[in-house]
A and B are shown apart, each in its own frame.
Chain A
């Protein structure tokens, strides 16, 4: 992707302003505003029912908003939904590939669906095949490909028409870690070429690969920032990790301390979070003292770095009970 080596990071590829969607009494998306730029990988995180898919459907031109505006790849989702569909790519784990056809047949089929033919189709096929390193698998039946290759093929199909914005829906679940790392390298190359990538996922380690993370809950945008910024937002709170041969007893003893919340078992260890206002040293001493008094042998307590999962669960409360 040599066409645009200059940094395109300041050009907005998605602009969303007060986007809202109601279904009867339900406010599924409630006045959401954000921007995503070319060259950027943006991640959407949210629990089930947070409004993620409603939002994505609106951004793909598949569902009209109740109010608010959104421009995707230069087209207005309300006025020109069909134009939006032409300018975006979409890839999901449930992406339909034809299992009994060869990889190359699938690519040609999707090329035809996008209206590509002749030299243009050949050029684009060469381009996406080299980007996704699928050259030596083109003759294989899709059924016979490993998950990681199927995922790359799905991505190649979604990129054939040279979209400016690409939506990835939980793209790497269940894939071999070796393949997954290669996949995100590829996504980064794609972003570097000027494409804007919007990823939705339940898996917080996929979000770690993104430049910007947007957290939605109850139809609202509740936080936005780089993964590092979001973790720093928990800077005031201390996470303590301690290992013990009697993790159950350690769990029970620590759960009884009012200054400690979210006390959880991690294998032979226990993780606990101190309430705001407790300093790291105080928290470590508190854990050591509590377990010492209870006569529970343990490793020296250590402060653990917060993860995106900690950030997420801190912002997003409990699950909604029903669909």
Chain B
């Protein structure tokens, strides 16, 4: 296929994609205006946009988003700080693996949010619960991916480095870490995705006064569907931005640069 043909096909795909979104938006608008459902349940797009801009302008939405991001980053940070070294340890040391893996396979099938009621009893309502839930949700993908990444490092590389006289330290930093990096980055990505889901759920169940999950759940009481949809948009945008900007550029800066283009996808 020539470049021009490829380009024209791309642009027509783009046009059709945009058309879909416009049609979907128009259908929704028609439904909202038809009065078939109460206005409170299906607000018009204009009302949603108005709510979104108003809450952004007076700063409430930004504060909610900041509270959610704070919780997610702390929990995710702990999960990485523990999951990454532990993942390397279980891959390198058999006794640690024998001890951690059975526990992990028993804990992993429990959805993180199932712990919310227990954690509320133990720690009370508030940030601790959300942060712990995020930690629980993000830990396992991190651990599992690091573990398989370190194990998947090509043994030939290890032997070659050993033959060239690399010591343990150099072996770890120059061979194992770059070799495992596609898996580790996939792990970071999956962990963040899980963390982002968990924080919304935790905020709904263990709501404090701030947070995007709490706003959505609280808006239900007042039948504020426009607030809910506006917060949904913010949640989606933040998730999308981290996925594309943060992890996309992380991937480009590390594994593509090192020539290990095996990127993991969820």
Task: Decide if A and B are genuine partners.
Answer: no
Q: Which residues of B are in contact with A by a Cβ distance under 8 Å?
A: none
